[in-house]
Amino acid sequence: MKMSFAYSGRSQMVAPPGGSGATLSMLPNLTREQVSFDATLLNPLRFREAMSTLHDVVINDLRFKPRDKSAHDEWKKQQAAADRAIYQREYERAKKELAEQREANPPPAGFEALFEKTRKRYWDARFKLASLMSREDPALWRWLMPCDPVITVANDVVFFECFSADESSYGCLTVSRDAFGTSSDVKLGTTNVDYSWDLYHHFQALRSYRQTRFLIDPAGFEVRTASTEDYREEKIDLPDGWLRGFMTTQEAMSLPGISVRLSREAVYSVLAFLKRHKAKASPRAIRFELLPGRAPELVLEPWEQRIVSHGTTYDGPPTEPIRIWGARRLLVLARTLPLADHYEVRLVGTGLPSFWVAHLGEMHLTLGLSGWTSNDWTRGSSLDLLAPPAMITDDVFGRVAHTMQQQRSMTLTQLEQAIQSPAPVILAALRRLAFAGQVIHDLPNGVYRFRQVMPMALGPAQLGPENAELTSARQILVGGFAELLNTERMPRGVLLTGKVEHKPVELMVDLDGRIRRGKCVCGHFRQFGIRNGPCRHMIALRQLSAAPNPSPIGSSI
């Protein structure tokens, strides 16, 4: 998918001459709706560390990389070291002579014009290289040129969103409006902001003793012409799967899950141990052992290192141990440790995404991790199929979308009262809106927010076709190839057994209608289990148990 970005300059930290304050000016994308915000940062240090953590999420890439043998190659060239030393010495002598000649003879007339012409040639060549790289090596180009972050100005918060280079980590920094002084020139909406490595270094200059204003500069909308000196326009072709992964994140955040509160000391112990140790054998997971009324316990595999979160208590329902992988991605939270009050983890299930929320006073940093570092959200996974099925009519979906757009921020209870529909139906509509890039679930504040990640609603043309397992499940039901043999009520849910396409299938559904585990002999289940969503046979069996008529399955998710 091709995206257009246009900016009237560069985001930067501006310090007035002789003044004691500074302005962090972030320029919005001129191709999006007009968004602006201007207020004083009350806690610049906390904002600096949180934004730096978000930067670490963007550049995070822990995929396997082959061993670098450049040191060995360099060793083989050491025979030429003496010649290089002689060359360097002569080069320095000649450079010194040229410098003395330049002092005696100033640059000729027209030198500045020649310099500008040469610089333009350099940047033209650099842009051509970036275009070539985006076509020939998208993975390298994606690492070097991450997509500009998305920023949303809402009534009560300002939040930033980003997606990592390896498409396995999602970051969202939510800043309460209480973190700012009196704000002016506020226009609600969502846009991209110009972001660069230089801006990251500017963030490091934030200090508590120096007043800093945070500005989303709307002035660029008034001079959005190519004739403006600082105007620049970029067209970025997003890598395949990046956008789908971003949207699947929103779905995963809306799935029912278990919330676990962790102390800062427990998270520090996890990060410190992972920093000092690197697993050389499987399994490489974090195992959550949760008992109601007891302190949560985290076990780091394969060392079986047990870490107890003293001072917190798990008050959720009884559950079997939950394991998540790709733990080294948590190291990006290190900068939040001195500022965090506590942490909260939202667990969807074993091998499924997890969301870590750092509570930083008036700010909250949400780090979303896919099941595995290399098993990202973009491989056609359909995690929403694990949620309880619900019928969504076009009328209900339209009313939910319209209400969210009008109110911009609502809780599930408020939506139930406004739409007059049961919670499962509204949740299914919200998941569909989230996948279309229209809604985000704000986990720290417990609300759903209207947020357009793109100027338009996303569909199959941008995100790709429907999940193949769901399509095949519909065909199975229409053909009558599914049979429900037994339904057994259990203390924690319902155990379904049946035959689908002559294959034995077993499915455990909890009391809230969520798929917890299952068994099947098909290739999809043998390869993924339920990490990428249930297989076609499980989907068909669950739908058959909910409603014998297979026709509603297309609108039930």
Q: What is the pLDDT of residue 298?
A: 96
For residues 72 and 470, give the distance between their C-alpha atoms in angstroms, rounded to a whole number: 51
The total of other beta-carbon atoms located within 10 Å of residue 207's CB is 12
For residues 29 and 150, give the distance between their C-alpha atoms in angstroms, rounded to a whole number: 10
Place of tokens 């890598």: 239
Structure-token pair, residue 425:
């139906």
Residue 187 exposed, middle or buried by CB count within 10 Å (0-12, 13-18, 19+): middle
Any alpha helices (H) in 77-205, and if so which ranges? 81-104, 111-136, 138-144, 197-203
Residue 416 exposed, middle or buried by CB count within 10 Å (0-12, 13-18, 19+): middle
Q: Are 318 and 293 in contact (CB under 8 A)?
A: no
Q: Are 484 and 499 in contact (CB under 8 A)?
A: no
* Count of all residues that appear for the chain in the document: 557
Q: What is the pLDDT of residue 139?
A: 56
Q: In a structure prediction context, what are the per-residue pLDDT tens digits for the chain, which is 557 residues long?
A: 667 778 777 788 887 776 667 888 888 888 888 888 888 888 888 888 888 888 888 777 777 677 778 787 888 888 778 888 888 888 888 888 888 887 778 777 888 788 888 878 876 786 677 677 767 775 566 555 556 678 888 888 998 888 876 777 888 999 998 888 887 778 888 887 766 666 677 778 778 777 888 887 665 444 333 444 554 555 555 555 666 777 777 778 888 889 999 999 999 999 999 999 988 877 788 999 999 999 999 999 989 999 999 999 999 888 888 888 888 899 999 999 999 999 999 998 877 789 999 999 999 999 998 876 654 444 444 555 666 666 788 888 899 989 998 888 999 999 999 988 888 888 888 888 888 888 888 999 989 999 887 777 776 656 666 677 878 888 888 888 888 898 888 877 789 999 999 899 998 887 656 677 889 999 988 888 887 778 889 888 887 876 544 333 333 33
* Packing angle of the helix pair 536-546, 468-479 (nearest 10 deg): 50
The domains found in the chain, sorted by start residue, are 2-62+145-239 (3.10.150), 244-380 (3.10.150.10), 394-463 (1.10.10.10), 468-555 (3.10.450)
For residue 54, which phi and psi values (nearest 5 degrees)? -60, -35
For residues 24 and 203, give the distance between their C-alpha atoms in angstroms, rounded to a whole number: 8
Q: What is the pLDDT of residue 381?
A: 45
For residues 204 and 180, give the distance between their C-alpha atoms in angstroms, rounded to a whole number: 19
CA 147 to chain CA centroid, Å, is 12
